[in-house]
Amino acid sequence: MPLIRPRSTAGIALITTLLLLYLWTSSTSSTLSTTPSSPPPVWRTPQYESYFWTTLPTNYPPKQIRPLPTTSPLKFPRIQAASPSESPEALKTRLQRQTAVKDVFSKCWASYKRHAWKADELAPVSGGQKNPFGGWAATLVDSLDTLYLMDMKPEFDEAVAAAASIDFTKTDLDEVNVFETTIRYLGGFLSAYDLSADARLLSKAVEVGEMLYHAFDTPNRMPITRWAIHAAMAGKKQVAPAGLLVAEIGSLSMEFTRLSMLTRDPKWFDAVQRITEGMAAQQNATALPGLWPLVVSAQDEIYSVGDTFTLGAMADSVYEYLPKMSALTGGQLPVYREMYEAAMATALKHNLFRPMTPSNQDILVAGTVKAADNGGGVKATLEPQGQHLVCFLGGLLTLGGKLFGRQQDLDAARRLVDGCVWTYKALPRGIMPETFYMLPCPSSTCAWDEASWKKGVLARAKDADKASDDADAIISRDRLPKGFTSIPDRRYILRPEAIESVFVSYRATANPSLMESAWEMFTAINATTSTRLANSAVWDVTRPIGEDPGMADSMESFWMGETLKYFYLVFAAWDDVSLDEWVFNTEAHPFRRLLP
């Protein structure tokens, strides 16, 4: 303003000061005289009071609400190793690799925006859209924290603005999966809020939380995991199911607890703590004490009847959330450590096996146990099936081993992570299939024995009713690499668990070979799954390079929410999302840990 002379500037400044002083004193005094309470919390938007899920009446209100714990948080041992030293060339390579991961993410994001904006998923071959998760923009919400961490500020701002308009009171789905909604949407919002402190994200987390809270509106306050949402909207009375997957009820704890920590409203914590109490009380009463069976009853609160015990699909995150709850709450709830230690003692003893490999690798794979009591005590039988999904276990045992000082967990973790890396390399495209069988070594020597392997192949083929008495013919027909006795599910669906464990293990050990393995996995995955628009799940990773692995035209939101985030973080600065300050939910959304 060049026309204003110095004196008049001073005059304007004086008037402004007086005006501000007046406004300040008048607002202060009016606050003091009328409302002595603190200002409303940041998440309580003007719409909150009239939000559908807030106002919908509750049929079975809880009689009492457990408060959040108030004891001082513990100081846990460090998880991350000291930052490794790095030559200028190594730095250059690392940053180039980080950029390469970001480039793949950016391409997928641009295509999602262009072809499937606010849909749950982009169809990465046809350019169409899919809405399997309520139609609430699952990919957008799952990607918020990745955008933030990759420093894509304009895209993040645009995504937050779009997320603010998602309407959680409408869906075309008949049945909502409460677990998936919790880990992807609630977890996505909480993490993006923890990272960015943008209040709009906490408001959205509360909206999702208010909706999900109605899935707990049953006589015993246990949740309905596959939830008929329109009946709930109509105010109908509901009961919890008698048969459900243990992972779907047992791994809601992190998100609900974080929501209570951030809002200071304990009702979500109370909802999940009731489940934890029941599971803790029955943990040692199962056929394989320490582990819970795959199927449990929420209606009767029975978590101990059943004969199948796995850390794989449909159970995995129950175990994952035990040490992670300890990390999240600063150890304020000792029950989680106790449950973790009891579970891992059993899993290490019964579920892990060393497979026979041509190079006699010292690796472990986690299988499934069938336990049955036919009178003379429980007999546990190992089913030596590996799953890509179980690769999370190496990262989990690393975390639990470090937090609670358990060397046996760290030893098993190293061999499990090596097992996942080995399995990637053993397949012709450098990618692990969804499921596979291997031959457990008969003894601790584990020397390669081609004849035993072929016998194992024949036995598996017989089990699968693909009878043949010629092992070589089966090996060639099914394209079985040496060591594998069967590969029932040949897909790779852009899963994160292997790189997740490599990332956690790398941060805990600073072992540079893990960073190299990560890069090999990334280039292999990118080479096989890239489409014109993005990346796609493929049908058959046993087909050699040069043949068509078969594009499935599917890109689940975890590709951008988890897989690419973990790849990126392997090549990030050492303290970028340090495991000593953050803990990841099962959808790779980092939450801030409660620290002393």
Interacting residue ranges for ligand NAG, rule: CB under 6 A: 100, 104, 280-281, 283-284, 338, 342, 523, 526, 530
Measured between alpha carbons, how far is residue 20 from residues 84, 149, 174, 571 in Å? 53, 39, 55, 49
Given the complex with ligand NAG, which of 439 and 521 has the nearer CB atom?
521
- The single-letter code of the amino acid at 472 is D
Q: Is 19 exposed, middle or buried (0-12, 13-18, 19+ CB in 10 A)?
A: exposed
What is the three-class DSSP state of 252?
coil
The single residue of 194, 316, 320, 556 carrying the catalytic annotation is: 316
Annotation says 180 is catalytic: yes
Return the closest-CA partner of residue 354 out of 481, 448, 440: 440
Classify 240 as helix, strand or coil. coil
Pick between residue 65 and residue 342 the one whose CB is nearest to ligand NAG: 342
Partnered with residue 177 across adjacent β-strands are: 226
Output the smallest distance, CB 34 to ligand NAG, in A: 51
Active site residue 497: yes
Minimal distance, residue 157 CB to ligand NAG, in Å = 27
For ligand NAG, give the closer residue by CB, 373 or 575. 373
Q: Quick check: is 49 catalytic?
A: no
Helix/strand number for the chain, H first, E second: 22, 16
207 catalytic residue (yes or no): no
Residue 218 beta carbon to ligand NAG: minimum distance, rounded to whole angstroms = 25
CB of 342 to ligand NAG, least distance (A): 4
From 121, 248, 307, 434, active-site residue: 434
Virtual CA dihedral for 13, 14, 16, 18, nearest 10 degrees? 160
Question: CB 290 → ligand NAG: shortest distance, Å?
Answer: 7
CB-CB neighbours of 293 under 10 Å: 20
- Rounded Cα distance, 128 and 357, in Å: 42
Angle formed by the axes of helices 199-213 and 187-196, to 10°?
160
Nearer to ligand NAG, 158 or 553 (CB): 553
Spatial distance between the Cα atoms of 215 and 596, rounded to a whole number of angstroms: 34
DSSP bridge pairs for 380:
371
Residues in the chain: 596
Catalytic residue among 180, 338, 553, 580: 180
Q: Which is nearer to ligand NAG, 341 or 580 (CB)?
A: 341
Centre a 10 Å sphere on the Cβ of residue 503 and count the other Cβ atoms it contains.
28
The verdict on whether residue 586 carries a ligand-binding annotation is yes
Shortest reach from residue 289's CB to ligand NAG, in Å: 6
For ligand NAG, the closer of residues 229 and 339 by Cβ is 339
Instruction: Please tell me which residue in 497, 500, 556, 562 is annotated as part of the active site.
Output: 497
Residue 363 has φ and ψ, to the nearest 5°, of -125, 165
| CA distance linking residue 194 with residue 95, whole number of Å | 26
Active site residues: 180, 316, 434, 497
Annotated binding site: 586
Annotated binding site for Ca(2+): 586
